[in-house]
Amino acid sequence: MIKELISSNLGGYHSNDFKESNSIDIASYIIEQGHLCKAHLQKEDKTANIDGRISILLGSFEFQIVEAQVKALPEKTDTTVPFKYLCDTKIINFARFKVSANPVALFVVDNERRKLFFKIFTSDYVDYLDVGEKENKTLDFDSSDEYSDEKFIGQALRMVRITNTDTACIVNCGEIRKIIRKAKRTDYRLVNERPEDDEGYDEYRVY
């Protein structure tokens, strides 16, 4: 009976299932350590493309949601030096086609060293990756991608503090730069701006 059961075509749990569960635990612990973010990550999730959400907090209140996917790095990946991760493009396309209006992040976990790295899929980064119809894309990681609250929150929000409105909106920062420069205004600046040409388009939330 036992031999027949083992040889039958039935679903089961394998080493990778435990590895992925462990990565969710490690990611949640690191993300929540500073009490600035709350992880809502599922094990064995059935949601297409993502494993859950990260809530960025303002005090005790949810201020911004980030859609998240968590993956365990292959064994023997040396994260003490720059490394590569072969990423399924589903999560990149999730950001590319704006399935959600929220920012999208990929977290990769070094289970052995209990370290967490992340990428925020901004529109310029997605364009740079140029996945097209590819099923996989190699992503480059280094120490600058290791998780910290400051880096994650700063990259996820990418705020432009132009007005005091409570309404979030999507703005073309290339056009805003042109207007500010033309008016020769020095009392405005783009927060967390990354260098790009005047024609560059990126998404920022304005509050």
Per-residue pLDDT of the chain (207 residues; tens, 9 = 90+): 666 655 655 555 556 666 788 999 999 999 999 999 999 998 876 678 899 999 999 888 998 999 999 999 998 999 999 999 999 999 999 999 989 888 999 999 999 999 999 999 988 899 999 999 999 999 999 999 999 999 999 888 873 333 334 445 555 566 666 666 766 656 555 554 444 444 444 444 443
Q: Specify the pLDDT at position 21.
A: 86
Q: Specify the pLDDT at position 16.
A: 66
Picking from 80, 76, 139, 64, the residue whose alpha carbon sits closest to that of residue 107 is 139
Strand partners of residue 33: none
- For the chain, how many helices (H) and strands (E)? 6, 7
List phi, psi (to 5°) of 161. -90, 90
110, containing H or E segment: strand 104-110
Q: Specify the pLDDT at position 15.
A: 60
96: left (phi over 0), alpha (psi -120 to 50) or beta: alpha
CA-only gyration radius of the chain, Å: 20
Pairing of strands 104-110, 61-72: parallel
Q: Specify the pLDDT at position 47.
A: 76
82: Cβ contacts below 8 Å, ≥ 6 apart: 140, 141, 142, 143
pLDDT digits (tens, 9 = 90+) for 73-106: 998 999 999 999 999 999 999 999 989 888 999 9
Q: Specify the pLDDT at position 20.
A: 80
Q: Specify the pLDDT at position 206.
A: 40
